[in-house]
Structures are given as C-alpha cells and as structure tokens.
A = this chain, B = another copy of it.
Amino acid sequence: MSKLSPVRFVDVALEGQFWRERLETVLTRTIPSQHVQLSNHGILDSLKLPNPPPPLRFPRNEHNFTVQVFWDSDVGKWVEAASYALSHRRDAGIEAKIEAITDDLEKAQAPDGYLNCWYLQREPDKRWTNLRDNHELYNLGHLLEGGIAYFLATGRRRLLGILERYVEHVRQTFGPNSGQKRGYCGHQEIELALVKLYRLSGDRKHLDLATYFINERGRQPHYFDQEAAARGEDPKDFWARSYEYNQSHKPVREQTKVVGHAVRAMYMFSAMADLAAELDDHGLKQACEVLWADVMRSKIYITSGLGPAAANEGFTEAYDLPNDTAYAETCASVALIFWAQRMLHLDLDGRYADVMEQALFNGALTGLSRDGEHYFYSNPLDSDGRHSRWAWHTCPCCTMNSSRLVASVGGYFVSASDEAVAFHLYGGMSTTVALAGTKVFLRETSTYPFSGSIKVEVSPENPATFTVKLRIPGWASGTSATLNGAPIDVKTGIANGYLSITRAWHAGDVITLDLPMPPERIYAHPAVKENVGRVALKRGPLVYCVEEVDNPGGRVQQLQLPRDAEISVQNRDDLFDGIITLTAPAGRVEAKDWADNLYRTSPPLRSGGELIALPYYLWNNRGSGSMQVWICEA
C-alpha cells in the first residue's frame, strides 16, 4: 500500500465561502500590499548590493542592527506567497516583481555562491562567524522555499538556480569532513527547505544535508561555544543564556520537553518529521511524538497559541499560559500547522488533524485582519483594549507566514494514496485524484466551520474499489453519517479519528456527515493558574471570545457567566459575511457606585444582562476594545 500524501493546493478548488473569501483577500490585497510594505521599509532595497540605498528610518533592534539580518527571509517568504498566488492565476505584475528580486539576488551573489545580503554589504569577511544569532542559513531556507514555489508556479528556474548554487556552497562549507564547519543555524528553517528541494529534485544530497543539520544540532563540543570563542567572546555571555533558546541544548533525539523559541522549535520539529518520513527513521519519529505529547499536555493555549513569553518568544514552564501577556506568535501557530500536517502523514491519526485545524482557525487565521492588510504578531487571549493590529512590524515575519499559509491552504484539506483518500478539513472544495487506477472526482460541500453538515460526493470515472476516510473531529460527539441516504454505523467505522468506508464506488455516490456543533464550555487544567474559575466557549473547531464592541458598558472582563446559563446560537448575517455568534445570560460587575475608590470592603454590585461571543479569529476587526477568551464563571 502506498502512503497518504497531501493533495497539492493547486489541485484543490476551494468552493466554500469561508475559504474563498480568505483566499481572495490574500491574493488581491495581502500579497500586493506586502510588496508595497517591503518596498517602503527598505527591505527590497537591501538586496541591491553593493550599495543599497539606506532605509528612510533605521529600525533598531537589540543587536543594534539597522538593516535586519533576517530581511532576506522576508523577501523569500513573500516570493513564496506570491508564487502560490501565481499558481492560482498567473499575473505579469507579480512575476515582474519576482524577476526584479531575482535580478538583485543574481547580482548580489558572490562568485562562490554565497548569498546573504546583510553580510555581503556589511561584513563580507565575517560570513559564517555567528550562526547562533545571525540567521544566514535561515534566510537561505526561506529564499529556497520561495524559489521552489516560483519554479512550480511558473517553470522559471533562474531564481531556483541561484539558490541551488548557494545551497551547493553551503553543502561544501558545512559537514563532518575536515575543512568543513560542523555548524548549523541558530534559527532552524533550512532543514525543511532542503527536504522540499530534495522532493523537487530527487537529489539525495539535499536530504543528506538536512539530515546532517538535524543530527549535528546540540552535539558536544558545542558548535556555538566554539564559534563564540573564535569571535573572542565568552560563550557564557550568550544573551539568551541557554541553548534551549534555539533547541541546541542537547541532540534532537534526546529532547523530551519543548523549550525555547517557539517558531524555531516548530520549524525544527517539522523537519524532524519530514526526515522521519523520508528516512523511515523510527527514533526520530518517536522523538517527535514525545515532544508533541509535551506540547499538548501543558504548553498550548486553547487557541493553539504557542510560547507564552516575550522574553524568549517561546516556551517556559508547564501550565504557564498567561492570557493577557501571551506571546503566542502567529508564526508559531502557522508552523504548528506544518508540524501537525507532517505528523498526520506519519500516522493518520485524527489527534494531529484536530490540532492542525485548531491552529488554522484559532491561531494562524487570527494573525491576519479581515481587510488582509493588518496583522497580529502576538496573540493574547485577554486584552484591555491596547492590543491592536498593525500595518507592519519591525520584524515582519508573521505577515508573510499568514499569506503563504492562506495562499496554499487548499493543500491541507485532503490526502491520497493509490487506494485511499482522506478528508482532513471541511469547508467546501473539489479535487480529482487517481484511486485504484481511475480518476475520481471528489466534492465536499458544507458551510463548515459554522455548520457540521457535510456532503461528500465521490465520482470515479469508472467504478472502482477504494477507501474514503472522513475525519471525525475529536470535539464532535454524536456524529451521524449516511451513504447514499442509508445510515452508516459511525461507531464501528471510526479508527483513529477517521471514518473509513471501503467499497466499490460509483459516480454520484454521496456520503453525508452530521457533526453536531452545540456550544461547549471548556475548562483548563487547574494548574493553569489564570484560568481557575474561568470558562471558555467553543463551537465546533472555533474558539470564541467576548469583545467590547458587542458587549458595551465597560471592559468585557467585568462579565460573569453563570455555570448554568444556557448558551444559544445566533446566525449573524450582518457580521463578516455571515457568522455564528453565541449568546448567554450573564452578569456584569458594575463600576457605577465606586466613585473614586480603587479598593473597598464591599463587593461590587452585579447587574444582569447577556454576553455575545464571536469567533476569536475575528477579534479586533472593528476597532480597539477589550477582549477576553476565558470568562469569569460565577
């Protein structure tokens, strides 16, 4: 039996309103406006070596860089997102922009293939002297992903060729042989890009290089120690204090707890899962499973946000999940989707798809505004109204992570092998895959995530026997299904979160799924200290929040939801092209009789009323105001 692999997004037509809207917004507004921002902030100019015009404003960061060391990666991610857009529809304007970037990179590239614009402009003799901090290989990884996407979209090889030359330079520079540096990047990313290049080219050397980087990481003597000493620095003066920051504190197979910078961790785990699949490496797979369990047990927000702390942009202690200071970087949720999808293809287990979906709807989507041109970098679950979306950021990594994800989101819906097709996500899509030697047209129709009423049409060109797998989300209880109108015994048909139907299929066969979506109250483990006495609302895959605009009269944190209050569902066609909100009778502690007192001995009065909750991913699209996910239950 062949393995399931994702059906590429170019082969998936998104037909449901939910994803059509997001995709159109990203294609028509986000990607073009991001090019404008990259231009306005001097990021595109920074490629124009040897003398790029200085940016108008010099953003300063903690390393006192004016032009940031990771700007190449931002360009790479934009090229990737824009190329996904080209895969949807060619556009001469976008192509000209990518060609112009290619021109600059071609001119910038050193004769030996090296191509990092920050070092080439500033300290060409210092390349590869600070892998720990300065993102050289990370930048290459993102450029490479961009080059691959551009080649796939247009067939144009020039950009990819430039980057392949750079990869060859890297391959000669790094490795275990004498004369080579035994280094690896402080910010993981090159590894998964190299796996993509391997899959594109079939050339094993790229897989080997990715494997080298993953296996070398965290070995003793520690490369970052040696490198710091060579720079004349005391390795102990590492600003982040511990190599846990970049997950090089020990070899990756020995890591059992998720630590450090969240995006670095997620990119690394994605690469580990890739290699586990490509090399059939059971040890690496097991390491992924152990790390996955650690995240899910105590280190993930209900929204799928990862990494509570701003200090390391990452993980801290188990159950440390503060709501208002949650860092929960958008990039980390996007990268969690990458990791979850890879885990899902190591083992078709609905737990992975559940997290992938949760991260998509509640983590990643939140980072992009409804208008497609404003962003969240961090994603708190509680705000007094001071947290709002920005048009750009001195570290714009999240912006293009949002656009490249949405522009390719169709690729997360369905996987196929020779004999089976598996539906992971719902929301309206169609595709044609080859199963059991025949072309099979598949169409899934629903208004998911707002309704769990799903219809799947299975139309083989010729009648054929194969398996259709439909994910039954972990949150769905009481699911019913029919096949051509006849009920299916769901209970016995489910394994690992997927309902499997193997039979001889004929054109026009129809499966229906009914995933009940009652509003749910969710409680957090009592060790999450912020959430004691609090409840969150969820419906289907969507986490809800209360926002001040819907609940005027003071901060939403003053709302209190009685435990026995009935939560009802409203169709709100007037909001965001139609969504479902939740409403419940609720109390509100009142400030009226407090005068100028800040503290007093009598409890606040409580008035009656109701609360209105809307999906978390939509918050802060109607101006600033207070917001809360975990509501006081009293």
Binding site for B on A (CB under 8 A): 60, 62, 64, 237, 293, 296-298, 300, 302, 317, 319-320, 322, 324-325, 382, 384, 386, 520-530, 532-533, 535-536, 554-555, 557-558, 560, 563, 589-591, 594, 596-604, 626, 628, 632-634
Contacts and interface: CB of A to CB of B under 8 A. Distances in A.
A632 B526 contact: no
A184 B557 CA distance: 42
B533 A634 contact: yes
B529 A382 contact: yes
**Central interface residue in A293, A533, A558, by most chain B CB within 10 Å:** A533
A24 to B, nearest CB: 33
Nearest to A588: B526
A386 B319 CA distance: 13
B317 A533 contact: no
16 contacts: A297-B598, A298-B598, A300-B598, A317-B386, A322-B325, A324-B530, A523-B601, A523-B602, A525-B597, A525-B598, A526-B554, A529-B628, A532-B560, A535-B603, A563-B603, A634-B634
Given A527-B555, A598-B525, A604-B523, A589 B532 contact: yes
Contacts of A526: 554-555, 558, 589-591, 594, 604
Nearest to A293: B596
Contact of A529 (B60, B555, B633): B555
A384 B317 contact: yes
Which of the listed residues A60, A320, A386, A599 has the most CB atoms from chain B within 10 Å of its own CB? A599
A604 to B, nearest CB: 5
A560 B532 CA distance: 9
Nearest to A529: B557
A483 to B, nearest CB: 30
Given A533-B634, A589-B532, A302 B599 contact: yes
Contacts of A558: 526-527, 529, 532
Given A596-B293, A598-B298, A603-B563, A384 B554 contact: no
A556 to B, nearest CB: 8
Rank and list the top 10 A-B pairs by shortest CB-CB distance, nearest first: A529-B557, A526-B589, A533-B632, A526-B591, A526-B558, A297-B596, A526-B604, A523-B603, A525-B598, A522-B599
Nearest to A559: B532
Given A558-B532, A632-B532, A634-B634, A527 B591 contact: yes
A7 B232 CA distance: 58
B525 A599 contact: yes
A377 to B, nearest CB: 16
Nearest to A563: B603
A382 B324 CA distance: 14
Contacts of A384: 317, 319-320, 529
A589 B523 CA distance: 11
Contact of A525 (B293, B527, B594): B594
A306 to B, nearest CB: 12
A256 to B, nearest CB: 14
A296 to B, nearest CB: 7
A192 to B, nearest CB: 27
Contacts of A594: 525-526
Nearest to A236: B57
Given A526-B554, A529-B555, 6 more contacts: A523-B600, A523-B603, A526-B558, A526-B594, A532-B557, A563-B603
Contacts of A64: 64
A402 to B, nearest CB: 25
A325 B382 CA distance: 14
Contacts of A602: 523
A563 B602 CA distance: 11
Name, among A317, A320, A521, A523, the residue most crowded by chain B CB atoms within 10 Å (CB to CB). A523
A16 B256 CA distance: 55
Given A529-B557, A532-B632, A599 B523 contact: yes
A237 B634 CA distance: 47
B598 A520 contact: no
Contacts of A62: 62
A521 B601 contact: yes
Contacts of A302: 599
A14 B601 CA distance: 32
A146 B558 CA distance: 48
Given A533-B533, A632-B532, A632-B533, A598 B524 contact: yes
Contacts of A598: 296-298, 300, 524-525, 528
Contacts of A530: 324, 557
A620 B521 CA distance: 36
A545 to B, nearest CB: 14
A520 B604 contact: no
Nearest to A523: B603
A244 to B, nearest CB: 15
A317 B624 CA distance: 15
Nearest to A475: B601
Nearest to A382: B529
Contacts of A590: 526
Nearest to A603: B523
A340 to B, nearest CB: 16
A245 to B, nearest CB: 17
Contacts of A300: 598
A59 to B, nearest CB: 10
Nearest to A316: B386
A28 to B, nearest CB: 35
A373 B94 CA distance: 65
Contacts of A600: 522-523
